[in-house]
Amino acid sequence: MSFFRFILQNQRQVLELTLEHLWLVGLSTLLAALIGIPLGILISHRTRLDKAVLAGANIIQTIPSLALFGFLLPVPWLGERADRLAILALTLYALLPIIRNTYTGIRGVDPAVVEAGRGMGLTESQLLFQVELPLAVSVILSGVRVAVVISVGLATIAAAIGAGGLGEFIFRGLAMVDDSVILAGAIPAAILALGADLALGWLERRWRAR
């Protein structure tokens, strides 16, 4: 099969682009988690903000990815390097599942447990770190998992603005009208998505069992 031959002949580049892809997805998910989890915690406690924040994250989600990359291109510091831009866009897309699951997870903690904790004199931060977050962690993780899987797919489009990643093969294959080149990008991307899904799913179940 020509696809395998292509992979074997371009091992180095396949590996390089896969690592680049992982870098794009990994960094953007990390940033999204660093922003999204605290934001989700905040809106689960200050419920006046919840509608606005979730609506904002939802709106970002509806922007077509190619258009978002395009919009960000003229922004000064970002536009200089395509990978910066791609990471920002991917971070924005990853926010919704992370914020929403953090919010849902914390709101889902049995109110009796929270009331008992507050009544026995836990401070709000003790309540958060010892009760609410441990009980919400598997729901939060499943949000991160969804974000990663979405990002792996979306990151292929980042190649359109020259940010690298496995999308390079896909776009090149499209230009060359060569299926085996397209597959050389698509199949490793699919494997990445599945692998991340399985790994985070395992982590999620482990946490739930505790």
Partner 1 sequence: MQSPVANPVVEFRNVAYRIGDTQVLSGVDLQVQLGETLVLLGRSGSGKTTTLKLVNRLLSPTAGEVRVRGVPNASGDVIRLRRSIGYVIQDIGLFPHFTVERNISLVPKIVGWPEERIRARVRELLQLTGLAPDMASRYPHQLSGGQQQRVGVARALAADPEILLMDEPFGALDPLTRDDLQREFLSLQQRLRKTVVFVTHDLREALRLGSRIALMEAGRLVTVLTPREFLRSTDPWASAYVRAFGDGLESAVNRGTS
Residues in touch with partner 1 (CB under 8 A): 110, 112-123, 126, 130-131, 134-135, 210
How far, in Å, CA of 98 to CA of 151, rounded? 12
* DSSP code of residue 163: -
Nearer to partner 1, 81 or 206 (CB): 206
User: DSSP string spanning 59-97?
Assistant: HHHHS-HHHHHHHHTTSHHHHH-HHHHHHHHHHHHHHHH
Dihedral sign from CA coordinates of 86, 88, 91, 92? negative
Which residue's CB is nearer to partner 1, number 48 or number 210? 210
Q: What is the DSSP letter of 10?
A: T
Closest distance of CB 204 from partner 1, Å:
15
Query: How much of the chain is helix, strand and coil, in % rounded to 5?
Result: 85, 0, 15
Nearest distance from C-beta of residue 135 to partner 1, angstroms:
6
Least distance in angstroms from the C-beta of 138 to partner 1: 11
Residues 126 and 128: their CA atoms lie apart, in Å, by 5
User: What's the half-sphere exposure (Cβ side, CA atoms, 13 Å) at 83?
Assistant: 12
Q: Residue 157 carries which DSSP code?
A: G
Q: How far is the CB of 209 from partner 1 (least distance, A)?
A: 10
119, 115, 62: which is closest to 93 by C-alpha?
A: 62
Instruction: Give the residue with the Cβ less far from partner 1, 79 or 134.
Output: 134
Cβ-based nearer residue to partner 1, 118 or 172: 118
Residue 38 backbone phi and psi in degrees, to 5: -60, -40
Nearer residue to partner 1 within complex by CB, 63 or 135: 135
Query: Token pair of 32, please?
Result: 């999204």
Return the number of the residue (131 or 149) whose C-beta is nearest partner 1. 131
Task: Please count the CA atoms within 13 angstroms of the CA of 170 that sit on its side-chain side.
Answer: 22
Quote the least distance from Cβ 127 to partner 1, whole Å.
Answer: 11
Q: How far is the CB of 123 from partner 1 (least distance, A)?
A: 6
